[in-house]
Structure 1
Amino acid sequence: MRRRRFITATAAATVALALNIDETPVDGRLSMSDVDRARQRIDRLDAHFSAIGGEPLLTVASAYLDRLTTAADRCTYGPRVEQALHTVIASLCSSAGWAADDAGDLDAAHLWRTTALQRAILGTSHQAQARAWSDLAIHARRGGHDREALRISQTALTSREARQDPRYAALIQSRLAISHARTGNRPAAARALLAAQASYDRIDPTEPAPRWLNFLTAAEISGLAAITHQAMGRLADAETATTQALTLLEPRLRRSRTYYAVQLAELQLARGNTAGARTTAATIDAAHIGSRAITSRLATVHRTLATA
């Protein structure tokens, strides 16, 4: 445990140093250049999340939120900068929500996500609002509120962002499929899975994705489909889709690789394949992934294997 805390603290210090968050002014007049630099720092923070998980980043994200909100309170700026500042704060709140999620603090995660939505509305950013709603939907599901998650996803699908951005539509349809499956509506879950794949197929590969949606690759679509199959009791299909996700995952998405490797081991155990689960678990090195949610699931797998 001490070694893990040391790794987490070291990673946080390294990220904070790399982002140079202290360079953001907290007095004087803010320009769009200042806001653009803040946005770039948040993009880099999101990239670190994909690589090492969110727990080491929680203190960094919280500190930078304090810095930006202080800047918003003390600095002067015009209406255009004000809107952009609300939007970048919304983005950072979303990142902090995921960091809190990985740290196992669901109450803090919910607070950051609702704040993200409020800031996104103040910034009149459809993209930031879409991200906030997406995060609130998954938060509801993780809290066991499947019907609430279903309603949020259904509402999110009516948004302009869902109509215009096939990446976002694919993500929401995938999460909608999980909610349908968990509430017992298998036909609707199957339709949502097909819609998610159709939306993903419409993505123009030459169009760069927003940083926060960089994780949404073909691997993620397969991984989310696996969760839907698992919720419907189709464990063989879930295992196949999880294996496909691991095959397709890019090296930079180390957190996702750990997440889906743990999911594969869980599915193998559920199907009675103890030898396969043991082999899978032996390949997982979660020492440098800061996510209590993932590592606690891996610990459960190891305890189950120890008594098998």
Structure 2
Amino acid sequence: MDRQRNTVLEALLAEYDFTHRTLAAEVNDVAEGIFGRRGDCADRHVRRWISGEVRWPWTRYLLPLEQIFDRPAQALGFVPRGKNSANLPTPPLLPRSTPTPKQQEEDPVQRRRFITASAAATVALALGIDDTPTGGRLAMSDVQRVHERISRMDAHFFSIGGGPLVSVSTEYIARLRGALDGCTYGERVEKALHAAISSLYASAGWACHDSGNADQAGLFHAAALQSAMLAADPAAVARAWSDLSLQARRAGRHREAVQITRAALDNRRARQDPRIAALLHARLAIGQARTGDRTGAARALLGAEKAYDRIDPTAPVPTWLAFLTPAELSGLAAIAHRALGRYDQAEAATAQALDLLPESMRRNRTYYTVQLAELQLAQGEREQAAATVTGLDVASLDSRSITDRLDRVRTRLTA
């Protein structure tokens, strides 16, 4: 019989992040639960199954394989030697310690935990992050679901602000750390989980800023950098550095903010990714403006524009960078101009940002509307400032930092 490669099994190994060696070890572990003794499977057996040299393994291997992938042997790409060989015996004992991939997805008792009732739990339920694996084998498909949930959290933030996302993010981080401790996975999945945790720490940091808790935000941004380094993900590292520079700037440590941003730009991946480079250059411009470096600020703003011009509009956009549009670049440029005392240029750039912002980004729209009113007041344009904030509805906005700024504007208008 001609040898035919078992592409089905090969694809399953890739999906569940198994190497030949780790699958062999898993077969041996499951065999111990079925037969009462550890199996003798080795990586050479797996290679022979995939190459097609062995098209129907022995029962002591097939039964564990069926349980690991929760599908019959023929659905694993194996071909029976004869009619009777396809009828495998019933396993004498079902293991309790190794849930199958199917159980990982569907067993609500052994594999899922739920967030207790609270305001944050309502958001968590709506975002679909209330179930996290606590055992079994994790695949890249599990990680993909994690990132999809994080994307929905990012969209929630851009729409109405941080609010309960602090507790939602920290709860999800705890669950993912539980998955790291209680599940089995390959190196690729492990790094991807650390990248997801870094993203959640970053989200928690931004939510803290919105809630007015700067100290806690700094701790979250530092934790995001640590997880990004564990993930060996240059983009996540650049994001964490960028957030730490913003943290330093908000604390009034402007020279430190400049140094951090420059360190982030030293990352080759950051320089090569035009979106990340554009964001870092824009934030560098603000830091340099705050330190009085007019030439450096102008050069950094130009660098942001050049980097943004290199963006491929057909390339996928990371959800955390979805906010970086021409509107946001105009808004960031306005902050730099304001720091340099160029209020007229800052006002024009802020107005441009508002013209370009989509209606769905309510948080950012409110942020720049308040900024526009502040700039108008700084130039003595009280009537324009009053018109800018008239009718501004923040009832659905969950950002204390923005609403506090709006209150200060209205207080000045009524003084």
TM tier, shorter chain? over 0.9
Shift of 1:28: 2.6
Using the alignment, how far apart are the partners of 2:212 and 2:181 within structure 1? 30
- Structure 1 residue 121, shift from structure 2 partner: 0.5
Correspondence for 2:192:
84
TM (norm. structure 1) is 0.94
2:76 counterpart residue number:
none
Deviation at 1:12, TM superposition (A): 4.0
Alignment correspondent of 1:245: 353
Distance in 1, matches of 2:118 and 2:285, equals 38
Aligned pairs for 1:1-308 within 5 A: 12-307=120-415
SS at match of 1:242: helix
By relative contact order (CA 8 Å, sep 6+), the higher-ranking structure is: 1
Counting helix residues as a fraction of each chain, which structure ranks higher? 1
* Identity within the alignment, %: 59
Give the gaps of 5 or more residues in structure 1: 1-8
> CA–CA distance in 2 between the matches of 1:103 and 1:30?
34
Once the two structures are overlaid, the 10-residue window that deviates more, 293-302 or 58-67, is 58-67
Task: Return the offset for 1:10.
Answer: 8.8
**More divergent stretch after superposition (53-62 vs 272-281):** 53-62
For structure 1, which segment, 157-166 or 98-107, has the greater mean C-alpha deviation from structure 2 after superposition?
A: 157-166
Secondary structure of the corresponding residue to residue 272 of structure 1? coil
* Conserved? CA contact 1:89–1:116, under 8 Å: yes
For 2:195 and 2:270, the matched residues in 1 are separated by 18
The alpha carbon displacement at 1:253 in A equals 1.1
Q: Secondary structure at the match of 1:21?
A: coil
Q: Give CA deviations for 1:147-185 in whole Å, capped at 9, x if unaligned.
A: 010001111111122221111111111100011110011
- Could you tell me how far 1:24 is from its partner in structure 2? 1.3
C-alpha displacement at 1:11, in angstroms?
7.2
Once the two structures are superposed, what CA deviation does each residue of 1:205-238 show, in whole Å capped at 9, x if it has no partner?
Answer: 1112111000000000000000000000000000
Question: Is contact 1:24-1:34 (8 Å) kept?
Answer: no
Q: Contact 1:103–1:292 (CA<8 Å) still a contact in 2? A: yes
How far residue 13 of structure 1 moved from its aligned partner, in angstroms, is 4.4
| Unaligned runs of at least 5 residues, structure 2 | 1-116
Quote the Cα distance in structure 2 between the aligned partners of 1:137 and 1:155. Answer: 10
2: CA distance between counterparts of 1:245 and 1:302?
22
Distance of 2:351 and 2:270 partners within structure 1: 28
Match of 2:60 in 1: none
* RMSD (Å), alpha carbons: 1.4
Q: For residue 354 of structure 2, what is the amino acid of its counterpart?
A: L
- Which amino acid in structure 1 is aligned with residue 129 of structure 2? I
The 1-side partners of 2:205 and 2:140 are apart by 25
Superposition TM-score, scaled by structure 2 size: 0.70
Moved more, 280-289 or 173-182: 280-289
Q: Which moved more, 1:120-129 or 1:283-292?
A: 283-292
What amino acid does structure 2 have at the position aligned with 1:169? A
Structure 1 residues 235 and 11, CA gap change in structure 2 (3 angstroms): farther
After TM superposition, give the deviation of residue 283 of structure 1 in Å: 3.3
Q: Quick check: which has more Rg, 1 or 2? A: 2
Q: Supply the AA of the counterpart residue of 1:198.
A: K
Q: How far apart are the structure 1 equivalents of 2:222 and 2:352?
A: 34
Matched positions, count: 299
Q: 2: CA distance between counterparts of 1:10 and 1:237?
A: 45
